[in-house]
């Protein structure tokens, strides 16, 4: 029997579920959880919005802020050399739970990255969502295989999209609970990141942060894409990237179910003329030049918020949305050099000030080389300028 849940190897995500009857059936069965999601959001989102403007910034430095996604199935022999050239120190590597027969390959791949902080994203399928026994067994195998190599895990991905297998927040919380119980009983040193809602759909995030289950996140992960709005400065329902981050941060600070840490575990822009590799329609795709500009500005704004501890760019090698196109060998896009330049300036910075006017953005940071002033507009690339400190 053909499963309604299939993987699209071009865009590295599940294919759209074509069985509409199944989707309706599953949504009906999840109705109590969906009602709970609505009611929690109705209560908590206005409170979070009201306190947003009173919450202080944290102290986040450039040393820990930059992360990059890499995949086993994307040029595994070349990737370590490209990462060294890029200079990034934090990596995110996906392990699909339906590929347990390849666990030893994933372990060897992870071990090729020397002196890097590795975060593993555990991708679910419907079978693991519905079988706590299987999930417990496979998570145990992964945690044991990577003991001493990796202690940070993203548990589940894209929980608010049916094609990823979840039909309600309650299903996700039950799935996460398996990993959390293993941590409590056998792996107390692990850092578990949830809830990994994609896009600006805070009603789902609110439900994952306010509930009665005996589970807790060590950090909140968010797949905070803004690509459908174009530039990161553009708004959705009145919120631009910075105000979206501020609102998510407010929810985190209100919640007893997570530590006070926000990690953007995935974001990018799809690139024009790369179908079927692009993860969206051509309408949302941008040119390679805009991709590079938007990528850098996304990082600068997220860093300026001082409320995001790390941004993991998705990802290094991907024809439809990566820094490198590997259809015909390794072709570094302009974004590769733009990321490399950004990292060379910001990897040792401390935030001082951010100012936005109608036409210009200014980010000021301290560095061992003096004060770094970064300016940009919606029509020009960022300019990095150093000024001597007094």
Residues 137-144: what's their mean pLDDT? 98
Quick check: 1 pLDDT over 80? no
**What HEC string does 47-97 produce?**
HHHHHHHHCCCCCCECCCCEEEEECCCCCCCCHHHHHHHHCCCEEEEEEEH
Residues 18-22: what's their mean pLDDT? 83
Q: Measured between alpha carbons, how far apart are the two ends of the chain, in Å? A: 72
Quote the pLDDT of residue 22. 83
Tens-place pLDDT, residues 118-128: 999 999 999 99
> What is the C-alpha separation between 325 and 316, in angstroms, rounded?
9
Mean pLDDT of the chain: 95
pTM here is 0.96
Cβ atoms 304, 354 nearer than 8 A: yes
Q: Where are the domains of the chain?
A: 31-49+57-347, 351-390
Pairing state between β 370-377 and 380-387: antiparallel
Quick check: 159 pLDDT over 80? yes
* Residue whose token pair is 């501020």: 246
Quote the pLDDT of residue 183. 98
Residues 353-369: what's their mean pLDDT? 94
Quote the pLDDT of residue 390. 62
Burial class (CB in 10 A: 0-12, 13-18, 19+), 45: middle
Closest CA to 159 of 314, 14, 311: 14
| Fold of the CATH domain 31-49+57-347 | TIM Barrel (3.20.20)
> What is the C-alpha separation between 114 and 117, in angstroms, rounded?
9
Q: Give the pLDDT band of residue 3 (cuts 50, 70, 90).
A: low
Return the percentage of the chain with pLDDT > 90, whole number.
91
Cβ atoms 91, 376 nearer than 8 A: no
Tens-place pLDDT, residues 175-211: 999 999 999 999 999 999 999 999 999 999 999 999 9
Return the percentage of the chain with pLDDT > 70, whole number.
99
Tens-place pLDDT, residues 236-276: 999 999 999 999 999 999 999 999 999 999 999 999 999 99
Tens-place pLDDT, residues 94-113: 999 999 999 999 999 999 99
Quick check: 227 pLDDT over 50? yes
Q: What is the largest CA-CA distance in the chain?
A: 72
Q: Give the pLDDT band of residue 24 (cuts 50, 70, 90).
A: confident
Residues 327-355: what's their mean pLDDT? 97
Residues 131-147: what's their mean pLDDT? 98
Quick check: 2 pLDDT over 60? no
**What are the CA-CA distances from residue 324 to residues 71, 114, 225, 261 (Å)?**
13, 21, 19, 30
Quote the pLDDT of residue 19. 83
């Amino acid at each position: 029997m053909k499963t309604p849940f299939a993987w699209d190897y071009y865009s590295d995500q599940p294919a759209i579920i074509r069985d509409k009857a199944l989707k309706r059936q599953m949504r009906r069965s999840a109705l109590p959880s969906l009602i709970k999601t609505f009611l929690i959001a109705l209560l908590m989102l206005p409170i979070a919005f009201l306190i947003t403007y009173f919450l202080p910034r944290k102290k986040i430095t450039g040393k820990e802020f930059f992360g990059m996604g890499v995949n086993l199935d994307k040029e595994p022999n070349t990737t370590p050399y490209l990462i060294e050239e890029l200079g990034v120190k934090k990596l995110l590597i996906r392990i699909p739970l339906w590929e347990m027969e390849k666990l030893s390959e994933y372990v060897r791949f992870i071990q090729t990255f020397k002196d890097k902080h590795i975060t593993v994203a555990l991708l679910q399928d419907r079978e693991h969502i519905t079988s706590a026994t299987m999930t417990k067994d496979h998570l145990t195998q992964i945690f044991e295989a990577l003991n001493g190599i990796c202690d940070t895990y993203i548990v589940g991905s894209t929980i608010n999209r049916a094609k990823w297998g979840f039909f309600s927040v309650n299903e996700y919380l039950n799935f996460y609970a398996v990993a959390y119980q293993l941590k409590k009983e056998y792996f107390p040193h692990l850092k578990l990141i949830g809830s990994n809602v994609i896009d600006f759909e805070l009603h789902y995030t609110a439900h994952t942060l306010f509930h009665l289950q005996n589970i807790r996140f060590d950090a909140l992960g968010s797949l905070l894409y803004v690509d459908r709005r174009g530039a990161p400065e553009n708004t959705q329902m009145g919120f631009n990237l910075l105000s979206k981050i501020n609102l998510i941060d407010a929810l985190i600070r209100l919640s007893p179910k997570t530590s006070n840490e926000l990690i953007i575990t995935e974001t990018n822009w799809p690139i024009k003329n790369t179908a079927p590799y692009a993860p969206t329609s051509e309408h949302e795709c941008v040119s390679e030049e805009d991709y590079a500009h938007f990528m850098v500005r996304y990082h600068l704004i997220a860093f300026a918020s001082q409320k995001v501890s790390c941004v993991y760019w998705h990802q290094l090698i991907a024809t439809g949305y990566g820094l490198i196109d590997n259809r015909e060998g390794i072709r570094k896009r302009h974004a590769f050099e733009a990321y490399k330049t950004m990292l060379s300036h910001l990897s040792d910075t401390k935030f001082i000030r951010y100012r936005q006017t109608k036409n210009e953005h200014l980010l000021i940071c301290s560095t061992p080389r003096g004060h770094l002033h970064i300016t940009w507009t919606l029509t020009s690339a960022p300019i990095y300028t150093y000024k001597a400190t007094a």
